């Protein structure tokens, strides 16, 4: 097997070893497959300069948020690639994209927010709906997102920016998820607990859990009722 074939095989191994949801694996696999296609056109295995050139190529056809996702996935792959001893970390020091991340929203008073969170926490241990509502309320209170932004959120929109967990969103007046909010470890933990409890492959981040709407996207009207 030549170096290019070996490189693709290593990418497949990396994806399969990932302890993440299947739809996230598919998303990461698709991005790395595109990078592998780029690498096929190189005389040798990719270098840091090649990764930077690939980033510039992505910038010519994708928005900043999409470029950032690709670079984050490639950096993660190369960290593993280096640690496992397959070769140098060709993505080390390669910067992603600067993305708008400031959102100013009106918020509840501190007293009201604490009361709402405590109530949600009490119900979180009783059912999957309780876990969902706890994660949903914590997300809204700590990020100031609009209900429509939460409705549009998908599981795959959770990613990394500079080693920090973030949720990519489609802001007002936008037609792509090209902005993000940072997720605190506590909020991400609540979301992760909810997703682990779900054990499904549904795309939306927050879904209905009652028949006949099981698995459908939680809409703004229901989100407003939760809060």
Within 8 A by CB and 6+ apart from 69, the residues are 31, 159, 168
Provide CB contacts within 8 A for 20, sequence distance 6+: 28
SS3 39: helix
Q: What is the residue whose two structure tokens read 């509840």? A: 108
For residue 178, what pLDDT is reported? 77
pLDDT < 70 positions in the chain: 1-4, 19-21, 98-110, 172-175
Q: How many helices (H) and strands (E) does the chain have?
A: 9, 3
Please report, in angstroms and rounded to a whole number, the separation of the first and last CA atoms in the chain: 57
pLDDT score at 108: 56
The three-state secondary structure class of 208 is coil
- Domains of the chain are 3-83 (1.10.150), 110-226 (1.10.443.10)
Question: What average pLDDT does the structure give for the chain?
Answer: 85
Query: What per-residue confidence (pLDDT) applies to 105?
Result: 47
**Predicted pLDDT of residue 109:** 63
Give pLDDT, residue 1: 45
């Amino acid at each position: 097997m030549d170096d290019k074939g070996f490189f693709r095989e290593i990418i497949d191994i990396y994806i399969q070893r990932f302890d993440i949801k299947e739809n996230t694996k598919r998303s990461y696999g698709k991005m790395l497959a595109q990078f592998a296609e780029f690498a096929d056109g190189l005389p040798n295995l990719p270098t840091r300069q090649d990764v930077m050139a690939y980033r510039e190529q992505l910038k010519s056809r994708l928005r900043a948020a999409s470029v950032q996702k690709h670079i984050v996935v490639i950096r993660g792959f190369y960290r593993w690639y280096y640690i496992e001893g397959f070769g140098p970390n060709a993505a080390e020091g390669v910067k992603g994209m600067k993305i708008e991340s400031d959102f100013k929203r009106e918020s509840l008073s501190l007293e009201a927010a604490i009361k709402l969170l405590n109530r949600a926490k009490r119900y979180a241990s009783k059912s999957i709906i309780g876990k969902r509502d706890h994660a949903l309320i914590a997300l809204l209170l700590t990020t100031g997102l609009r209900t429509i932004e939460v409705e549009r959120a998908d599981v795959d929109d959770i990613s990394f920016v500079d080693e920090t967990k973030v949720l990519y969103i489609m802001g007002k007046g936008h037609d792509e998820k090209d902005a993000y909010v940072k997720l605190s470890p506590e909020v991400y933990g609540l979301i992760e607990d909810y997703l682990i409890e779900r054990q499904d492959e549904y795309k939306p981040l927050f879904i209905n859990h009652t028949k006949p709407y099981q698995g459908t996207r939680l809409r703004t009207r229901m989100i407003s009722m939760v809060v």
